[in-house]
């Protein structure tokens, strides 16, 4: 099924496909050969490939891709809770629910559709389990777009259609594919305060000029700049993470000991992944009835010679 209605190599395409378990997925392609694959289970981006066919997101070879389990990797959406900071299951329920392709998506005035392949998904509280554990009327709209230059953008309008206020936390839990964790540095987090989840969420201040990795890390950097960069020296490429409405940045790598304890992650796979998330965690988003929040995450790749 071709959602775009266009079968032309010179134009972006949007196709509905199925994985080996029969779960619906959406495949975006741009005219230069870059692609993005999104699963309707969790609204999760599973793949982001450059125009050269290089996979830019990490997905574990041991990951369980059969619902209701989220895949270890890609970009799962943590909503309406991040981690165990609340009464819900870890990272909330959005990544475990089936999303729908939205036929009449909300208008996004700032969105330029020129030369973009994109799809609109929506999550609504459609089952008793969801309304029982989180009794709010919400709609989580998600537009995933792939631009001609290969940039991947996620835009999420979340309106409160309830008669009472509610609050939520959110993270686009992005697993980047890297050459080796010891060859990577992150810039844009210098001098920021962070909450260290390895020390019971204690608050510290980042002292280094750039973040490098020699052991397990699990931090929430607070009120970060709108652009963060992940430099992969060996592969001579840089990921630029640009965000709006997402003040915090999560940085996570389990390292060897915790990787061995994770059943859906290979013992050595931690070396080839790094999570750097655009997020709103320390100060949850508060929405009064009729209010709307919009978050935006833009990922781009810069190659160096």
**Residue 238 · residue 230 · CB < 8 Å:** yes
- Answer yes or no: are the C-beta atoms of 139 and 159 closer than 8 Å: yes
- Per DSSP (E only), the strands in 19-111 are 24-29, 35-39, 44-49, 77-78, 100-101
Q: Check whether 81 is labelled as a binding-site residue.
A: no
Q: Is 143 assigned a ligand-binding role in the annotation?
A: no
User: Which residues 6+ apart lie within 8 Å of 240 measured at CB?
Assistant: 227, 228, 229, 298, 299, 300, 301, 302
Q: Report the C-alpha gap between 140 and 92 in whole angstroms.
A: 13
The residues, any chain, with a CB within 8 Å of residue 126's CB and separated by 6 or more, are: none
Q: 132 labelled as ligand-binding?
A: no
Tokens 């080839």 belong to residue: 272
CB-based contact 3:16 (threshold 8 Å) = yes
What is the spatial distance between Cα 105 and Cα 170, in angstroms, rounded to a whole number? Answer: 21
Binding-site residue ranges:
72, 90, 95
Binding-site residue ranges for substrate:
72, 90, 95
């Amino acid at each position: 099924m071709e959602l775009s209605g266009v079968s032309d190599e010179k134009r972006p395409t949007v196709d509905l496909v199925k994985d080996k378990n029969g779960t619906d997925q959406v495949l975006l392609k741009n005219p230069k050969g870059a692609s993005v694959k999104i699963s309707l289970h969790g609204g999760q981006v599973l793949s982001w490939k450059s125009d050269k066919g290089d996979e830019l997101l990490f997905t574990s070879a041991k990951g369980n891709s059969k619902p209701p389990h989220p895949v270890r990797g890609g970009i799962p959406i943590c909503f309406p809770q991040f981690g165990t900071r609340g009464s819900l299951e870890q990272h909330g329920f959005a990544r475990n629910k089936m999303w729908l392709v939205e036929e009449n998506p909300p208008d996004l005035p700032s969105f330029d559709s020129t030369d973009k392949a994109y799809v609109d998904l929506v999550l609504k509280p459609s089952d008793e389990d969801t309304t029982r554990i989180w009794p709010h009327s919400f709609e989580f709209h998600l537009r995933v777009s792939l631009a001609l230059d290969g940039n991947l953008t996620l835009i999420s309008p979340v309106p409160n259609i309830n008669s009472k206020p509610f609050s939520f936390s959110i993270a686009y839990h992005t697993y980047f594919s890297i050459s080796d964790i010891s060859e990577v540095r992150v810039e844009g987090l210098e001098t920021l305060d962070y909450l260290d989840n390895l020390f019971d969420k204690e608050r510290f201040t980042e002292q280094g000029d750039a973040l490098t990795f020699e052991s397990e890390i699990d931090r929430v950097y607070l009120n970060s700049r709108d652009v963060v960069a992940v430099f992969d020296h060996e592969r001579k490429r840089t990921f630029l993470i640009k965000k709006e409405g997402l003040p915090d940045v999560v940085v996570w790598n389990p390292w060897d000991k915790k990787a061995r304890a994770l059943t859906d992650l290979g013992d050595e796979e931690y070396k080839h992944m790094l999570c750097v998330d655009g997020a709103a965690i320390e100060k949850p988003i508060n929405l009064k009835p009729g209010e709307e929040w919009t978050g935006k995450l833009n990922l781009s790749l810069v190659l160096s010679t």
